């Protein structure tokens, strides 16, 4: 494809994303699925244009408002080409000539826009703080509460792109064996600094064609997510529930920790999401997991199995602020109403899942959020409502499972891209009081 055709494709994808009805990843995947003639390199260029706009939409719109131009997918991408990708105005004009799948020629306002931005940078001293940090206005005070003076550094890391993390599947290979298998295919991977089973790729590669991936030696999983599963401390022979399993990423990690011994139940309210886990479980060689579709967090299955599990992991639905490196479009889809609804739902899910924990067993609450309201506040609210449970300090759990000092807090674990190089994650671990022993 020509550069102009790549730009046109990016504008089409951004226009489909703009209504906010579907995640950006899903929209882009559908676009490329319907156009299989687009090669891997072209897809990478197109996706690069799209994600630059999604990461910096606030700043791009701020600049567009300073020029008499309609604000939308096309003007945002034109501004991004100049401000974020360094394209010269004459190159943009040449790419937008309306020929052979290229965008229509620039109108007068668009031409003034790209020429007016040619001597500018993406950031400007007059930008409000939310704009300069590419945040939705309403989220700024929430992030200010968490990060304070470190907000700029933390949000810059959230707005950057993420490298690909893999987890060595201990059912088939240890980390060094997996690393060597990748190296044999020409893929360089380095051990992750915190997870003892993690590998980080030094560049983006299509994983689907790799033998190491096809044979289940590695799975794609952010290092923070790996750590969450490790802190659950699911051991061989235990009875374990992954309560909000989704497509099974943490289920796979739990199964590896259990060495395929014991009982592992992957629960979710979405049959479609659980169905996506089937191929992954099979590829990884998992044999001790079963899937359970729930009608809600208060499904009758929960009551029937109350007190029956050693470990229950609740990777709760959340606003996803910790995953902006990988899903930058999500920050423009969420609303204050979404957060309010999630706060209620998270507590309902956590308290219902707690019924499954046996005396002496553990409940792990995790989010991929960096917001206090979804993290520490939820943990403290749960403890106030459920006196049978007490906190297992994250520092103690880290030392027991991974070894060494916790890098992200003593009482609870908080990981961020700026401090730890992971997605943003929060983990709280609770233990149910053991039954009193007879005297």
Q: d(Cα 224, Cα 93) in Å, to the nearest integer?
A: 43
Q: Which residues pair with 239 in a beta bridge?
A: 263
Residue with tokens 């998270």: 346
Q: Which H or E run contains 279? A: helix 271-284
Question: Which one of the listed residues 267, 368, 396, 435 is annotated catalytic?
Answer: 368
Please spell the DSSP secondary structure of 200-254, one letter per residue: EESS---GGG-HHHHTTSEEE--HHHHHHHHHTT--TT-EEEETT-TTSHHHHHH
- 83: nearest Cα among 94, 71, 75: 75
Please spell the DSSP secondary structure of 124-156, one letter per residue: -TTS-HHHHTT--GGGHHHHHHHHGGGHHHHHH
Q: Which H or E run contains 272? A: helix 271-284
Distances (CA, A) of 361 to 4, 96, 308: 59, 62, 9
Q: d(Cα 133, Cα 143) in Å, to the nearest integer?
A: 11
129 neighbors 62 (Cβ within 8 angstroms): no
Q: d(Cα 427, Cα 225) in Å, to the nearest integer?
A: 10
- Is 244 an annotated catalytic residue? no
Torsion sign over Cα 17, 23, 25, 31 = negative
Written in H, E and C, the secondary structure of 345-402 is HHHHHHHHHHHHEEEEEEEEEEECCCCHHHCHHHHHHHHHHCCCEEECCHHHHHHHHC
Please spell the DSSP secondary structure of 71-102, one letter per residue: -SHHHHHHHHHHHTT---HHHHHHH-SS-TTP
What residues are labeled active site? Answer: 368
């Amino acid at each position: 494809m020509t550069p102009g055709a790549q730009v046109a494709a990016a504008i089409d994808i951004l226009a489909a994303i703009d209504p906010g009805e579907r995640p950006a990843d899903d929209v882009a995947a559908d676009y490329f699925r319907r156009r299989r003639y687009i090669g891997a390199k072209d897809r990478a260029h197109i996706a690069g244009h799209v994600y630059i706009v999604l990461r910096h939409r606030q700043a791009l719109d701020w600049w567009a408002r300073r020029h008499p131009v309609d604000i939308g997918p096309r003007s945002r991408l034109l501004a991004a080409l100049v401000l974020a990708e360094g394209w010269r105005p004459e190159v943009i004009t040449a790419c937008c000539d309306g020929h052979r799948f290229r965008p229509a020629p620039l109108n007068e306002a668009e031409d003034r826009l790209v020429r007016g931005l040619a001597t500018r940078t993406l950031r400007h001293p007059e930008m409000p703080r939310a704009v300069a940090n590419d945040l939705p206005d309403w989220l700024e005070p929430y992030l200010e509460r968490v990060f304070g003076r470190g907000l700029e550094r933390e949000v810059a890391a959230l707005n950057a792109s993420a490298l690909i993390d893999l987890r060595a599947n201990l059912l088939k290979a240890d980390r060094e064996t997996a690393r060597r298998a990748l190296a044999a295919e020409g893929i360089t991977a380095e051990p992750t600094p915190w997870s003892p089973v993690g590998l980080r790729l030094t560049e983006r590669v299509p994983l689907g064609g790799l033998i190491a991936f096809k044979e289940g030696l590695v799975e794609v999983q952010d290092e923070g997510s790996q750590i969450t599963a490790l802190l659950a401390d699911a051991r061989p022979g235990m009875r374990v529930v992954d309560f909000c399993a989704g497509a099974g990423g943490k289920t796979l990690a739990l199964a590896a920790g259990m060495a395929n011994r014991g009982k592992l139940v992957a629960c979710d309210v979405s049959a479609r999401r659980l169905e996506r886990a089937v191929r992954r479980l099979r590829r990884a060689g998992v044999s001790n997991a079963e899937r359970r579709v729930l009608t809600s967090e208060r499904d009758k299955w929960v009551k029937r199995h109350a007190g029956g599990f050693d470990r229950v992991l609740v990777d709760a639905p959340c606003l996803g602020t910790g995953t902006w490196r990988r899903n930058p479009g999500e920050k423009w889809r969420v609303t204050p109403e979404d957060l309010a609804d999630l706060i209620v739902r998270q507590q309902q899910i956590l308290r219902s899942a707690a019924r499954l924990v046996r005396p002496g067993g553990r409940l792990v609450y995790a989010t991929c959020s960096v917001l206090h309201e979804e993290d520490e506040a939820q943990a403290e609210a749960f403890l106030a409502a459920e006196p049978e449970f007490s906190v297992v300090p994250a520092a103690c759990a880290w030392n027991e499972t991974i070894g060494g000092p916790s890098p992200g807090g003593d009482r609870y674990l908080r990981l961020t891209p700026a401090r730890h190089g992971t997605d943003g994650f929060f983990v709280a671990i609770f233990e149910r009081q053991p039954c009193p022993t007879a005297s």
